[in-house]
Chains A and B, each alone.
Chain A
Amino acid sequence: MRNIVKKGWSTFRTIFTGMGITIRHFFSPAVTLQYPDEREELPKIARSKLFVNIDDCIACDQCVRACPVNCIEIDTVKATADVDLGRTSDGKQKRMWVTRFDIDMAKCMYCDLCTFPCPTECIYMIQDYEYSEYDRNNLVYNFSNLSPEKIEEVTRKAEEDKLQKEQQAETETVTTKPGKTAKQTGSSSAKSIPGAKATSGAKSIPGAKPKTVPGAKSIPGAKPKTVPGAKTIPGAKPKTVPGAKSVPGSKPKTVPGAKTIPGSKLKTVPGAKSVPGAKTRTVPGAKTIPGAKPKTVPGAKTIPGAKPKAVPGAKTIPGSKPKTIPDAKQIPGAKAKTKSGVKKVPGGGKGSQKPNSEE
C-alpha cells in the first residue's frame, strides 16, 4: 500500500515536473529564424561562394594549382607589347589576358585553399549562399570579362606577335639565301622572306645580307625600303609582304637587293620548294615598281589591324608557304625554315594557328 502511494506520488511528481518544463518552453521565445524573411549575418570567414575580382587577376595560375578538385580553369593569352593591361589594385602589372576564368561551384568543396595563394587577393569567398540552380551547368561561373571577339582578337595578336618574334630571331641569325621567294603568305604572316635575297639566278649569295626588314614590317607608315640599287626588274615582284598589306599605309618593303629576276618564277631557286598549293605567289610582272604598294596577295587575309609581322621564315603562316630556301638550312641559326622544304605547309593557307608549334 505504502509502495503504491509512493509510486503514485512519484508518477505525478515526475509528470508535473515534465509539464513544468514544457510549459516554460511554451512561453519562451522561439529560436526559429524565419529564413526567407530574415537572414543570419554570416561570419566574415564563411565559405559559401567564390568570387573573382577579374580586374585584379594577374593570371598567375596559383589558385588553379591550389585547388584539390580542379574546379578552377583559366586560359590566358599573353598581351602584346603595345597593350597596357593596367595594374592591379595593389600595383602589380598585368601581362595576361584572362580569356577564361571558370569556377565550377558544383565541384567546389569550399576548402578555401584557392584563396590563400592568390598574390593579389582577388579570389575570395563572398557571403552569397543562395545560388542553387536547376541545371548543374549553371553552377560554372565565368569570371572572365572578355567578349568572344575580344578573345579572338587578343589571341590572334598574341600569335602574330609570337611569330614575329621568331622571325626576328631567325633573321638575325640567318644569312640567307634568297630564294626566289615567292612568298606569299597567306595570311597574316606576311612573309616577305626576309633574308631572301632574290638573287638573280636565285642563288643566294653568301654574304648577301638578308634584308630582314624587321622594323619594316608592320610599321604603319613605314616606307618601303626600296633599296636603291635594288634592281627591281620589271616583272620582278617585290616580295611584298603579305602581312604588310594589312597595315594601312604600310608600304611594301621591297627588299633592296632583292633582285627579282624578271620573269623569274617563284621556284626559281633550285631546290626551293615552293609549296604546292601555295597561293599567292606573286606573279612576276607584278608591280615591282619601287614604291609599289604591296600587292596584296590574293588569298592573303589581311587582318584588320594586324600588324604585318613579316616573320622571316614565317613558316607558320597559314596559307603562306614559306619559301624555304633550299640552301637556307645551311645557315646557322636558321630556324625551322631552314630545312629545305620544311615548311611547306601542305595545303598552305590554313588558319592561323600557330604554325610554329612544331618548333
Chain B
Amino acid sequence: MITESILLLLLFALIPLIIILIYALFAIWGERKVAGFIQDRLGPMRVGGWHGWAQSFADLLKLIQKEDIIPANADRFLFRLAPFIMFAASYAAFAVLPFSSSFIGSNLDIGVFFLLAITSLLSISVIMGGWASNNKWSLFGAMRSAAQMVSYEVPTIMSVLSVIVVAGSLNLMTVTEMQSGNDTLGFLPNWLILQNPFLIIAFVIFFISILAEAHRVPFDLPESESELVAGFQTEYSGMRWAMFMLAEYADMLLLSLLGAVLFFGGWNSPFGDFMAGPAWGFFWFMLKGLLLVFVMMWIRWTLPRYRVDQLMYLCWSILIPLSFLNFVLIALWEMIF
C-alpha cells in the first residue's frame, strides 16, 4: 500500500519533469529558430528533417558523450553539486503551479511563497558553481548573479504581492479559479491584468524582474558570453553544463507560467466556457506560458545588455520605488472599489 502510493507519487512528480524536459529540448531548438528568423536566417535545418526539429536531441547526445571535466583546483564537491541544486530548485517550484483545473503537484496554501522561496536557491547554486570553479570569470558571473538576483527579488515579490492583495490568496489554484469567467466589461476574461489598471504596471515590473531573475537579455550579466565567456558556467562541460542549461530554461518557463497564473488567468480559457476543461486548461496554461517565453526570446534578440551599474540603477532607483508605490495604489484601489 505504502509502496504503491509512493510509486504513484513518483509518477505524479514525473509529469512536470517530462513537461520540462520536452519543453527544454524544443525551447532550445525554438530559441535558435527565433534567433534565426529574427536575423533573417533559418536556424538549425538539417537534423531530423522538418526544420531541424531534432537538433536538440542531437545536441543532447553529444553532451552525453562529452567528457566531464572538473578543473584541478576546483572545489569538487560544490562543483558537482551546483547543477543539481539549480535544477532541483527550478523543478521543485513546478509543484505549486496549477497546470490545469485538475492537476497541481501540491495544492499548497502558501504556493506563491513556496515558489519564490525555492527559486531563491537558484542564486545559491549559481554562486556555488562560480565559486567552486576557481575561475575568475566564473566568480565574476556568480557575483553579478548574486547581486542581480537579490536585487530583483524585491520588485518581483512586490509585484506578486500586488496580485495577492487583489486575489486574496497565496494558493495559486485559488488565484486561478477566481479569474474564471468572462465578466470584465461584459466579454473580456476575468484576468487580473484586465481588472485593475495598476496591475498592468505590476505586470510590467514583474516581467522586467523575471527577465533578470531568469538571466535573460537584457539582464544576462551572470553569463554574458561576450565578456565573461559563459559566466558561472565557464568551467562546466558535458551533462553538468546541460543541467545548467536545462535549469535555466526550466526557470524561464516557471517564471513565465507564474506570470500566466498571476495575470493571465492560468488555465482559464480566454473564451469563457468555450474550449474549457482540464485538457484545454493545460493547453491554455502552456500556451500563455510559452507566449511569454517567446516574448523573452524576442526581447533577447532585440535589446543589448545592460551594464552592471545600469542594472542596479534600474532596480534600486526605479523598479523598487515604483513597485512599492504601485503596491500601495493597488491596495487603495481594492479598498475603494
Which residues of A come within 8 Å of B, CB atoms?
4, 8, 15, 18-19, 21-23, 25-32, 34
Which of the 9-residue segments B6-14, B279-287, B294-302 touches chain A?
B294-302
Select one of A15, A18, A26 contacting B37, CB under 8 A: A26
- Most chain B CB within 10 A, of A18, A19, A26, A32, is at A26
- Give B contacts to A, CB under 8 Å: 34, 36-42, 45, 298-299, 301-303, 318
Q: Complex: how many Å from CA A32 to CA B41? A: 5
Bound CA–CA A28/B37 (angstroms): 8
Task: Pick from A22, A25, A28 the residue with the most CB of B within 10 Å.
Answer: A22
* Chain A residue at smallest Cβ distance from B37: A26
Residues of A within 8 A of B318 (CB): 4, 8
* Set of chain B residues within 8 Å of A19, measured between Cβ atoms: 298-299, 302
B298 near A34 with CB under 8 A, answer no
A226 CB → nearest B CB, Å = 85
- CB distance B303 to A30 under 8 Å? no
Taking a contact as CB atoms under 8 Å apart, the answer to whether A25 and B45 are in contact is no
A-B pairs with the 4 shortest C-beta distances?
A32-B42, A22-B302, A18-B302, A30-B42
- Nearest B residue to A29, CB-CB: B40
Question: Residue on B with the closest CB to A19?
Answer: B302
Residue of B nearest to A34 (CB): B45
Expressed in whole angstroms, the Cα–Cα distance for A28 and B38 within the complex equals: 8
A4 to B321, CA, bound (A): 12
Query: Once the chains are docked, how many angstroms separate the CA of A23 from the CA of B298?
Result: 8
Contact for A30 among B37, B298, B299, CB less than 8 A: B37
Q: Are B298 and A28 in contact (CB under 8 A)?
A: no
A interface majority secondary structure: helix
Q: CB distance A15 to B303 under 8 Å?
A: yes
CB distance from A242 to the nearest CB of B (A): 71
A30 contacts B40, C-beta separation under 8 Å: yes
Decide if A34 touches B38 in the complex (CB within 8 Å): no
Q: A30 contacts which chain B residues (CB < 8 A)?
A: 36-37, 40-42
Whether the Cβ atoms of B45 and A28 lie closer than 8 Å is no
In the bound complex, what is the Cα–Cα distance between A49 and B120 (angstroms)? 62
With A19-B298, A26-B37 already in contact, the answer to whether A34 and B303 are too (CB < 8 A) is no
A113, B37: Cα distance in complex, Å: 42
- Given that A15-B303, A18-B302 are contacting pairs, would A25 and B42 also be in contact in the complex, using a CB cutoff of 8 Å? no
A26→B302 contact, CB < 8 A: no
Q: Which residues of A contact B38 (CB under 8 A)?
A: 22-23, 25-26
Q: Do A22 and B301 have beta carbons less than 8 Å apart?
A: yes
Minimum Cβ distance to chain A for residue B307 (Å): 15
Closest to A36 in B: B46
Q: For the complex formed, measure the closest distance between the CB of A23 and the CB atoms of chain B, giving whole angstroms.
A: 7
Are B40 and A31 in contact, CB atoms less than 8 angstroms apart? Answer: yes
16 CB-based A-B contacts, threshold 8 Å: A8-B318, A18-B303, A19-B298, A21-B302, A22-B301, A23-B38, A26-B34, A26-B37, A30-B37, A30-B40, A31-B41, A32-B36, A32-B40, A32-B41, A32-B45, A34-B42
A4 to B38, CA, bound (A): 32
Docked complex Cα distance between A34 and B302 (Å):
25
The answer to whether B41 and A22 touch across the interface, beta carbons within 8 angstroms, is no
Residue contact B298 to A26, C-beta cutoff 8 Å: yes
Closest residue of A by beta carbon distance from B33: A26
A319 nearest CB across to chain B (Å): 67
A70 to chain B, nearest CB (A): 41
Task: Tell me if B298 and A25 are in contact (CB < 8 A).
Answer: no
Closest chain-A Cβ to B21's Cβ sits at a distance in Å of: 26
* Min CB gap A16→B, angstroms: 10
Which residues of A are found within 8 Å of B36, using beta-carbon distances? 30, 32
**Docked pose: A21 CA to B38 CA in angstroms:** 9
Set A8, A15, A25: member contacting B40, Cβ < 8 A: A25
> What is the bound-complex CA distance between A26 and B34, given in angstroms?
7
Closest B residue to A14 by beta carbon equals B303
Q: Are A25 and B303 in contact (CB under 8 A)?
A: no
- A15 to chain B: which residues have CB within 8 Å? 299, 302-303
Q: Are B39 and A25 in contact (CB under 8 A)?
A: yes
Q: A23-B38, A26-B298 are in contact. List 13 more A-B contacts (CB 8 A).
A: A8-B318, A15-B302, A18-B303, A22-B38, A23-B298, A25-B39, A26-B34, A30-B40, A30-B42, A32-B36, A32-B40, A32-B41, A34-B42
Which residue of B has the minimal Cβ distance to A12? B204
Q: Which residue of A lies closest to B218 (CB)?
A: A15
The interface residues of chain A lying within 8 Å CB-to-CB of B299 are: 15, 19
| C-alpha spacing A32/B301, complex, angstroms | 18
* A215 CB, nearest partner CB in chain B, Å: 74
Q: Which residues of B contact A8 (CB under 8 A)?
A: 318
Question: CA separation between A143 and B143, bound complex, in Å?
Answer: 66
A23: chain B residues at CB < 8 Å are: 38, 298
Which B residues are CB-close (under 8 A) to A29? 40
CB distance from A8 to the nearest CB of B (A): 8
Q: Give the Cβ gap from B219 to chain A, nearest Cβ, in Å.
A: 13
A20 and chain B: residue at smallest CB distance: B302
Least distance between A348 CB and chain B CB atoms (Å) = 70
Contacts of B301 in A (CB 8 A): 22
B314 nearest in chain A by CB position? A11
Nearest CB of chain A from residue B293's CB, rounded to whole Å: 15
Q: Are A22 and B298 in contact (CB under 8 A)?
A: yes
Q: Which residues of A contact B42 (CB under 8 A)?
A: 30, 32, 34
CB of A149, distance to nearest CB on chain B (Å): 48
- Give the docked Cα–Cα distance between A32 and B44 (Å): 11
A27 CA to B36 CA, complexed, in Å: 11
Complex: A31 Cα to B37 Cα, angstroms: 10
